[in-house]
């Protein structure tokens, strides 16, 4: 048995790729392709690293569900004791359907609507992470009209470079997220004046797929400076939310382990006298990213003068990250390779030149072979679309030697169900 680097629950057995105790080829035969397969053990192991890091501390781990919002994944984390970080009314309905406690839900996002605010107040969520001064005013009006107090934490934009892709950087002054560092104290003073609001914390999130601990340490210093300034102004803060964003191993990346990172961060917190604080964090990708693979079948091999193309049945609507971010996913043959390897661009059937899953990959493949796209647990199914009227893939959750179908393959009829012809 040979485990794949960065994927302890994906391994080769007699040359064939398995996840936990099941061969991936058998799952593809049973459920078809494209197919997302997730390891329950991998998700719980990733969560355990955070739980070890916070042992003995007051801490709430809120899964950032935008990474993967499938109901079975949400149920798994709810049963493991997690709260949830949501960014829309739809995500709120999903976590409620999965059995989450509303009191452990925090609502982030720059564009919350009045209807979303009302629904969140109605079910009694734990906290709103407010991202602008205008949102403070609107939430005050909505909460006052409902006759309730909205618990709020102001998200600070600390102007810290997370050293990640520009599209997933959120903590620089040119990003749309959060209240500017220099406006934070003013925003808190306004929040305590407004009716219908109860200030409970401060929040910071600087980006995604961060592989270096230094930006977190920089952001923590800047947030603690603000905590001290806000409390010096007579406004107590019950919790500090340090967001998420820890990266995973896509292509030899070496992010710190969650427990190692938090040992460093907690040491800084203790050194500055804030070790007894109630902490909140919002991990997403690091809990689910390397727990998932996408299985796809090779349809055709198309040689060219300058490029060889390996055309598969998964596409940018299934795995949007390469098209959106030029992101890298390892691609592995499910069964032992045959013949001589050639260099291919692995592409899908969607009618866009941007529809690619991997560039310049050395593969020995034939039509009908299965490939596994690794690290597909985060920001794949949750961003999947119906472009070209393609149905979204099926999903399977593996628990040891058992496989549970957690989402059926979407049909054209499913897609057209809400549409109406005018006559």
Do 78 and 68 meet the contact criterion of CB atoms below 8 Å apart? no
Report all structural domains of the chain as residue ranges with CATH numbers, in order of start: 2-39+289-416 (2.40.37.10), 108-283 (3.20.20.10)
Calpha distance 17→35 (Å, rounded): 15
How do beta strands 16-19 and 197-204 pair?
A: unpaired
Residue of 82, 127, 204, 351 marked active site? 351
188 is in an annotated binding site: no
- 3-state secondary structure (DSSP) of residue 250: coil
Nearest-5° Cα angle at 105, 222 to 41: 95
Q: What is the DSSP string of 391-418?
A: PPPEEEEEETTEEEEEEPPP-HHHHHTT
What tokens does 27 get? 């799952």
CB neighbours of residue 118 within 10 Å: 15
352 is in an annotated binding site: yes
63 is in an annotated binding site: no
163 is in an annotated binding site: no
Cβ contacts of residue 154 below 8 Å, gap of 6+?
Answer: 129, 130, 136, 179, 184, 187, 188, 191, 199, 202, 203
How do beta strands 370-373 and 292-302 pair?
A: antiparallel
245 is in an annotated binding site: yes
Question: What is the 3-state secondary structure of 144-196?
Answer: HHHCCCEEEEEEEECCCCCCCCHHHECCCCCCCCCEEHHHHHHHHHHHHHCCC
Cβ contacts of residue 369 below 8 Å, gap of 6+?
Answer: 297, 298, 333, 334, 335
What tokens does 283 get? 């991990």
Burial 305-332, CB ≥16 within 10 A → b, else e: eeebebbbbbbbbbbbbbbebebbbbbb
282 is in an annotated binding site: yes
284 is in an annotated binding site: yes
The residues with which 179 forms a beta bridge, in sequence order, are: 156
Calpha distance 220→275 (Å, rounded): 13
Token pair 């950032």 is at which residue? 64
**Predicted confidence pLDDT, tens digits, the chain (423 residues):** 787 887 889 999 999 999 999 999 999 999 999 999 999 999 999 999 999 999 999 999 999 999 999 999 999 999 999 999 999 999 999 999 999 999 999 999 999 999 999 999 999 999 999 999 999 999 999 999 999 999 999 999 877 654 544 544 444 455 666 788 888 999 999 999 999 999 999 998 877 788 888 888 888 888 999 999 999 999 999 999 998 888 898 988 888 899 999 999 999 999 999 999 999 999 999 999 999 999 999 999 999 889 999 999 999 999 999 999 899 999 999 998 778 899 999 999 999 999 999 999 999 999 999 999 999 999 999 999 999 999 999 999 999 999 999 999 999 999 999 999 998
| Total-model pTM | 0.94
Burial 172-200, CB ≥16 within 10 A → b, else e: beebebbbebebbbebbebbeebebbebb
Token pair 């950087």 is at which residue? 169
Calpha distance 159→154 (Å, rounded): 15
Residue 351: active-site member: yes
What tokens does 132 get? 């602008």
């Amino acid at each position: 048995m040979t485990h794949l680097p960065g994927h302890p629950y994906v391994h080769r057995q007699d040359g064939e790729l398995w996840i936990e105790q099941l061969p991936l080829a058998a799952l593809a035969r049973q459920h078809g392709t494209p197919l997302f397969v997730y390891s329950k053990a991998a998700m719980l192991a990733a969560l355990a690293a955070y739980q070890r890091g916070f042992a003995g501390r007051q801490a709430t781990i809120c899964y950032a569900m935008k990474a993967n919002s499938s109901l079975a994944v949400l149920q798994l984390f709810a049963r493991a004791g997690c709260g949830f970080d949501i960014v829309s009314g739809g995500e709120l309905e999903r976590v409620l359907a999965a059995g989450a406690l509303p009191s452990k839900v925090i609502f982030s996002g720059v564009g919350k609507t009045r209807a979303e605010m009302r629904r969140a107040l109605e079910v009694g969520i734990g906290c709103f992470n407010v991202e602008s001064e205008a949102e403070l005013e609107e939430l005050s009006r909505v909460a006052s009209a409902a006759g309730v107090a909205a618990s709020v934490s102001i998200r600070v934009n600390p102007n810290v470079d997370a050293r990640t892709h520009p599209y997933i950087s959120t903590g620089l002054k040119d990003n749309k997220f959060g209240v500017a560092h220099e406006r934070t104290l003013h925003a808190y003073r306004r929040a305590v004046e407004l009716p219908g609001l109860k200030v409970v914390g401060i929040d910071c999130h600087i980006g995604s797929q961060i592989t270096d601990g230094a930006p977190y340490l920089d952001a923590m210093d800047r947030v603690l400076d603000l905590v001290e300034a806000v409390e010096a102004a007579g406004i107590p803060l019950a919790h500090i939310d340090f967001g998420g964003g820890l990266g995973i191993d896509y292509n030899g990346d070496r992010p710190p382990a969650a427990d190692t990172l938090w040992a460093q961060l907690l040491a800084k917190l203790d050194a500055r006298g804030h070790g007894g604080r109630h902490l909140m964090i919002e991990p997403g990708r690091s809990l689910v990213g390397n727990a998932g693979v996408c299985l796809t079948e090779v349809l055709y091999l198309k040689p060219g003068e300058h490029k060889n193309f390996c055309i598969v049945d998964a596409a940018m609507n299934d795995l949007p990250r390469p098209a959106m971010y030029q992101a890298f996913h390892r691609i592995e043959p499910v069964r032992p390779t045959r013949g001589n390897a050639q260099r291919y661009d692995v592409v899908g059937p969607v009618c866009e030149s941007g529809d690619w899953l991997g560039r310049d990959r050395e593969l020995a493949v034939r039509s009908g072979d299965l490939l596994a796209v690794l690290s597909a647990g985060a920001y794949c199914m949750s961003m999947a679309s119906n472009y070209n009227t393609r149905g979204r893939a099926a999903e399977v959750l593996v628990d040891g030697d058992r496989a549970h179908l957690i989402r059926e393959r979407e049909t054209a009829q499913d897609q057209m169900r809400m549409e109406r012809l005018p006559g």
